[in-house]
Amino acid sequence: MLEMDEGRVSFADALKPPEGYELSFAVGTTYSLDLRALLGICIPLGLGFEPETLDSVNPVSLFAALNRLRGKLVMYCDKGSMRVDVSSNSRTTGLLMLLEGMVHQVAVNWRRKDAFSSFHPKVWVVEYSTRSKGDSLYRLLVMSRNLSFDTSWDVVVSMDGHSGKGDACSEHVAQFLEFLADGDAQTSTDRDDPRRRGSHTTRVRLLAERIREARFEVNDRNFESADFFPFGPQGDNVSSLLDARKCDLLTWRWRSMLVVSPFLSEGSDAPLSVMARHRSGASGKYVLLSREDSLAELSSDMRASYECFCPASSLADVELEGEDGVDASAYSNLHAKLYFSQDMSDRRRLWIGSLNASRNGTINNVEALIALSVRRNHLTFRQMLKPLIGDGGKERPPFVPYDPPESLDLEVKEDQEFRRAFRIASRLISFKAVKVSGDENDAAIDVIINVASITKACADISLKLRPLLATDCVQIGTGTRITAQELAFEGLHAEQVSAFFVICGMRGDGKSRECVTVCPHDRFDDSELSLESRSSRVLGEILSHSNGELSQYLAHAFDLPEAAYAINDEGRNNITSSTNGRLPVPAGLYERLLDMADANPEVFRQASQLMDLIPNDVRHDELDALRRLVETFTKAVK
């Protein structure tokens, strides 16, 4: 189950629709979000293909996938933890603007500006449907993996379900979705007016209603049932999430406990201390696997309560390469969070999710765990340990006994403190209103932000703001009082306009950090330069390279088999291109459209939407004929 050289799962494999299904709607949550990683999963979600790397994807395919996903994907992330590298000349950078309606930020304990609280769950709730009968399939993914390019070792539980009689698990998933849509007294969530057509808040609520009537099945012979636990901070008001301190993991008396957690803390109410106090009997084992630097920060007394192990020099041979050719193995480390517990009556449970064995995780953060109940005579404590720490054989296990260092790396600790301080500073900024004006060649963005009072933790950090795809920053004033500030960005092209902005922070010693933030949809006025007109401009730039690009785009628009060859550059020659000014149209198109009119009439609405985005300066007689053909078929299938 946990063997590192077997059973690896990619994000794309976990999310792409099963055979015969297509995506209806998906909600994803992550702590840190890399926007280029989000671009990457849009290919398997929108088109059902898994590319080798993001930059191997033809921009035409990515553009088509992003447009297919409009209104079908909602992504929540922690405020202050969004990133993207736009310094490289990637052909996909201009498409980042198409993500602006998908991404929404969550600020936990937002009234306590100095709280080290995080929106930390890594959960996906996905609805697929068949084209013919409209049958729905639901998928629940609970994992420790953020949506980023990190290559650390993570774990995931995937369960599929169908409509039927719901249970406690589906009820808790539905409650979590309702929390995402509405927030609560402790958490501020980007949300829009539910009365507005296409409101993501309404769509998430409706998914919660359907999930409540679904039943998820555990497709593994080792487990008999599962339950989902969404945790959140508890305040004076009633919280819409559960209290992690009251779950069985921390309240039951377990005889044996395996804790796998990259980040730790101690204290009387921290998980490691609580579990050690509740230990039942002396015959069991308490084993802790964590990063070397995290174990070093624990007291010797706390380490003595557990058998401690840390990663060997490399957890596993990492074959993938990171972005821009960086060797990903340099970043391979432990990021999994799991717990395996066994009590005196031999009841065993496997817990997987986002919860670190830290005080923040159980008290301040929003987290999620799934608990799998182990069948009798299946999956023993020893079987769980063997692939991790070995059994004394000759093979070197991925985790080795921890040997305390003589001294701590103070530079690493200082860098961690700066990251925390900058994250607090970035959360001081919220958008009051953003207005886009001008035209495609000379646009301006007028921004009004609210800046909360500065805190001691980040008093020496100066802040600046800039549009994501622009270079010029504007200074943000900070002080001891809440202020509203007006910022102006001028001389922009349409491709540089989006709801995404970059917050830049610099400390007095010259150290700097950046994060991406996004203006909520209902405060972003782009009526003079809409997303449709901006994305049409980006599409025009892509199509200007050759007629072959336009032919590939049409293959996606009509959902033709030729679109499969348009995913990677290596397959571009499989779609005929033309240099004589004529538009190559796939053979037998009319006959295929007749078949689609019967099997999948929705394709004509999709084709019409994608063709409407083709700029007016892209002219072909055949293109006009195709538009008339689509209009004819659309009327015929109504």
- In a 10 Å sphere around its CB, with 0-12 CB exposed, 13-18 middle and 19+ buried, how is residue 198 labelled? exposed
For position 201, what pLDDT does the model report? Answer: 86
Asked whether residue 105 falls in the same domain as residue 208, the answer is yes
The fraction of the chain above a pLDDT of 70, given in percent, is 82
Residue 124 shares a structural domain with residue 177: yes
Residues 198, 128, single domain; the answer is: yes
In which band, very low, low, confident or very high, does the pLDDT at 564 lie, cut at 50, 70 and 90? low
- Of the pLDDT bands very low, low, confident and very high (cuts 50, 70, 90), residue 575 is very low
- Specify the pLDDT at position 617: 78
Reported as a pLDDT band with limits 50, 70 and 90, residue 509 is confident
Does pLDDT of 258 surpass 90? yes
- Domain identity same for 124 and 18: yes
Same domain, 344 and 437: no
Tell me the mean pLDDT in the region 515-541.
91
| Residue 213 within any structural domain of the chain | yes
Nearest-angstrom CA–CA distance, 558 and 564: 12
Residues 326 and 223 in one domain: no
Residue 202 shares a structural domain with residue 150: yes
Least confident window among 57-61, 335-339, 494-498, 518-522: 57-61
Residue 235 lies in a domain: no
Q: Select from 532, 557, 589 the last residue of a domain.
A: 532
Q: Which residue has the higher pLDDT, 173 or 190?
A: 173
Of residues 625 and 448, the one with the higher pLDDT is 448
Q: What is the 3-state secondary structure (H, E, C) of 495-561?
A: HHCCCEEEEEEEECCCCEEEEEEECCHHHEECCCCCHHHHHHHHHHHHHCCCHHHHHHHHHHHCCCH
Tens of pLDDT, residue by residue over 9-43, are 888 889 989 888 989 999 999 999 999 999 989 98
Q: Which tokens sit at 156?
A: 């995931």
| 217 & 252 share domain | no
DSSP alpha helix (H) spans, 112-199 = 168-182
2: in domain: no
Q: Give 151-164 pLDDT, tens digit per residue.
A: 888 999 999 999 98
Cα 492 from Cα 494, distance rounded (Å)? 7
The listed range with the strongest mean pLDDT (285-299, 557-571, 583-597) is 285-299
If asked whether residues 59 and 173 sit together in one domain, one would say yes
Res 556: pLDDT: 80
Of 228, 252, 284, the residue at which a domain comes to its end is 228
Domain-embedded: residue 320 = yes
**Positive or negative torsion for Cα 513, 514, 515, 521:** positive
* Structural domain total, the chain: 4
Domain assignment of residue 521, yes or no: yes
Residues 60-82 have a mean pLDDT of 91
Same domain, 73 and 153: yes
Average pLDDT, the chain: 83
**Average pLDDT value for residue range 373-392:** 90
288 & 334 share domain: yes
- pLDDT tens string 88-111: 667 788 899 999 889 999 988 755
Q: What is the CATH number of the domain that holds 364?
A: 3.30.870
Question: Mean pLDDT lowest for which of 269-278, 381-390, 507-516, 550-559?
Answer: 550-559
Range of the domain at 294: 244-408
Residue 435 pLDDT more than 60? yes
Q: Clarify whether residues 375 and 447 are in a common domain.
A: no
Q: What is the pLDDT of residue 621?
A: 65
Strand 73-78 to 103-108 pairing: parallel
Instruction: State which amino acid sits at residue 391.
Output: D
